[in-house]
């Protein structure tokens, strides 16, 4: 995909919805390329990072905090558990609920993913100063906050 096709309409270049969509495609490619050698995907990273920041959580709570659909959470959790990156165990307070806990191997894997994703951010925002990058992130978060469910 050519990010700025020759002769592109000025109208198209002025539509944030179109620009964000095109940037999202490029961002996803950068992320996938960075994560590919690890066997992990974006959902894996989101689950591991959430557990690292918040400690053990129920599987349902991890899904809510990451915004990942329940069936996708199950598939990612199964993969991460099979790889020894997290432990899934019945919650002692409610045996119907699973609690997820990050393992030491999961923390090490997350550190590797963090490094790889930082490189992907630099690739995506090539030519941005540190201040421009921080402002871009701030603006993206503002858009998301304005559209967050109430």
Q: Which residues of the chain have pLDDT under 50?
A: none
pTM of the model: 0.88
At 127, list the tokens: 């030519």
At 87, list the tokens: 């432990």
Predicted pLDDT at 121: 96
∠ Cα 77 36 82 (to 5°): 25
Predicted pLDDT at 96: 85
């Amino acid at each position: 995909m050519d990010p700025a096709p020759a002769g592109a309409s000025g109208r198209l270049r002025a539509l944030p919805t179109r620009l964000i969509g095109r940037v999202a495609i490029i961002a996803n490619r950068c992320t996938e390329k960075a994560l590919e050698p690890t066997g992990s995907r974006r959902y894996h990273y989101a689950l591991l990072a959430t557990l690292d920041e918040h400690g053990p959580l129920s599987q349902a709570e991890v899904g809510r905090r990451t915004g990942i659909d329940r069936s996708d959470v199950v598939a990612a959790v199964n993969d991460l558990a099979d790889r020894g990156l997290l432990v899934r165990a019945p919650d002692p307070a409610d045996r119907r609920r699973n609690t997820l806990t990050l393992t030491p191997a999961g923390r090490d894997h997350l550190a590797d993913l963090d490094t790889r994703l930082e490189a992907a951010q630099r690739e995506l925002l090539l030519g941005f100063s540190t201040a421009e990058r921080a402002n871009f992130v701030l603006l993206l978060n503002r858009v998301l906050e304005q559209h967050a469910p109430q």
